[in-house]
Amino acid sequence: MFLLSTTLALYYLGSLVNAQSSNENAISIAAIEAHFTGAGLVPSLLSSFDPSALITVTFPGVGAISPGQSLTKDRGTDPRNLLVPANSSVTLQGNYTLVMADADVVGADESVGQTRHWLVNGVTLTGSSPLNVSTTGGVAVTEYAGPAPPAGSGAHRYVILLLPQPSSFSPPANLSQPNVGVSVFHLTDYISTSHLGVPVAGMYFDVEQGTATATPSPTSPVVSSTLKPAASGSSSASSSASSSKSSSSNAAIRSGHSVLAIPVAVFSLLASYICL
Ligand SMILES: *[C@@H]1O[C@H](CO)[C@@H](O)[C@H](O)[C@H]1NC(C)=O
Ligand SMILES: *[C@@H]1O[C@H](CO)[C@@H](O)[C@H](O)[C@H]1NC(C)=O
Ligand SMILES: *[C@@H]1O[C@H](CO)[C@@H](O)[C@H](O)[C@H]1NC(C)=O
Ligand SMILES: CC(=O)N[C@H]1CO[C@H](CO)[C@@H](O)[C@@H]1O
């Protein structure tokens, strides 16, 4: 029943009216994009990841996790108060699907599928600034199941995504009813065949048990290649109503981004190696 109290919070890219907040969120958006790429989730799991919001995932006894944070297996249970707020510059209405999948270790062959640890359709956003993403009233196809990677298999990446669920949503028959147990599915096939939208927000964390016996795959040289597309993505998400404001804001986003996102991405890479 804890799932009923599970909530999600998203921080949305602010409008240019609130330039400071907007820049901070734009930098954070760019940072999470850099993390997804630095951890190899893009492009091996998702061909691209261009979120419009931030999601905070909170575990009891841990607090709100940072992207790629290493958790022990016992800490990866009962996520709640996954946060949110929103800003009205991004429309947040209707139904969403919440999913958590085990993307395995860096370099894993994602074409074989991912273990599905959580899948709730009909998630709604309630309250305001922050918004709670509530699973109450949704269809818990797969109830949350904490991570349990095989001992010695390395640091598995558990990815949580929030995706818009349009009225044309049509899940496969065997993933449309509650109480489907944990099993392997193909995340991106599920997203496309169900007609879900692109993720509006995402987070991931690592769990490893025992000592890895395999040599980790190197992560790609993502740092420089990630920053420019992320910055332009951030600026395009901003209002184009004011070109002069937009220019100065974009400059601030770029400079702030290069200051923050590079160490963040480097840290992510180092963390990956340390964990593996
Ligand atoms: C959300 O899902 C509920 C229940 O399935 C449905 O009645 C409602 O029309 C959906 N809302 C939108 C905006 O699609
Ligand atoms: C979100 O949900 C949490 C826990 O259910 C609750 O404490 C909090 O007041 C809610 N916030 C909003 C803005 O509804
Ligand atoms: C659902 O059916 C597809 C084939 O249509 C199959 O590949 C998949 O394993 C099934 N998933 C579950 C959870 O039974
Ligand atoms: C829902 C919400 O918080 N909307 C805010 C988005 O940002 C603008 C500009 O700061 C505010 O005026 C809105 O209230």
94 and 145 co-located in one domain: yes
What is the position in ligand 2's atom list of the atom closest to the CA of 130?
Answer: 13
58 and 22 co-located in one domain: no
* Residue whose tokens read 């290649």: 225
Give distance in angstroms: CA of 132 to centre of ligand 2.
6
Query: With pLDDT > 70 as the criterion, what percentage of the chain qualifies?
Result: 64
Residue 62 maps to a domain? yes
Residue 187 maps to a domain? yes
Give distance in angstroms: CA of 8 to centre of ligand 2.
9
Pocket test for ligand 4, best of 11, 12, 89 (most atoms within 8 A of CB): 89
Residue 119 has what pLDDT? 97
Residue 230 maps to a domain? no
The model's pLDDT over 49-100, given as tens digits with 9 standing for 90+, comes to 999 888 888 898 898 899 999 999 888 777 765 555 444 466 778 999 999 9
139 and 86 co-located in one domain: yes
What is the position in ligand 1's atom list of the atom closest to the CA of 124?
Answer: 1
76 and 184 co-located in one domain: yes
pTM of the model: 0.72
28 and 76 co-located in one domain: no
Residue 181 has what pLDDT? 97
Residue 53 maps to a domain? yes
Q: Would you list the DSSP string of 197-220?
A: ---SEEEEEEE--S---SPPPPPP
Give distance in angstroms: CA of 124 to centre of ligand 2.
13
Domain extent at residue 79: 46-218
86 and 186 co-located in one domain: yes
202 and 273 co-located in one domain: no
Domain boundary pick from 187, 218, 249: 218
180 and 60 co-located in one domain: yes
Residue 225 maps to a domain? no
Give distance in angstroms: CA of 167 to centre of ligand 1.
7
Residue with CA nearest ligand 3 atom 8: 185
CATH of the domain at 50: 3.90.280.10
Pocket test for ligand 3, best of 185, 188, 190 (most atoms within 8 A of CB): 185
The model's pLDDT over 123-172, given as tens digits with 9 standing for 90+, comes to 998 887 677 888 989 999 999 999 999 999 999 999 999 999 999 999 99
Residue 260 has what pLDDT? 40
Are the C-beta atoms of residues 47 and 31 closer than 8 Å to each other? no
State the Cα–Cα distance between residues 170 and 190, nearest whole angstrom.
10
Residue 51 maps to a domain? yes
Pocket test for ligand 3, best of 115, 174, 179, 187 (most atoms within 8 A of CB): 174
Count the domains in the chain: 2
Q: What is the per-residue burial (b if ≥16 Cβ within 10 Å, else e) of 162-186?
A: bbbbeeebebeeebeeeebebeebb
**Interior CA angle at 46 toward 78 and 15, to 5°?**
80
Residue 231 maps to a domain? no
Does the beta carbon of 132 sit less than 6 angstroms from any atom of ligand 2? yes
Q: What residues does ligand 3 touch, defined as CB less than 6 Å away?
A: 172, 174-175, 180, 183, 185
Residue 215 has what pLDDT? 64
Considering 207-211, 243-247, 266-270, the range whose residues carry the highest mean pLDDT is 207-211
Residue 227 maps to a domain? no
93 and 136 co-located in one domain: yes
53 and 10 co-located in one domain: no
CA-wise closest residue to 152 among 209, 70, 82 = 209
52 and 114 co-located in one domain: yes
Q: Which listed ligand is nearest to 93 at the C-alpha?
A: 1
26 and 92 co-located in one domain: no
State the Cα–Cα distance between residues 32 and 53, nearest whole angstrom.
10
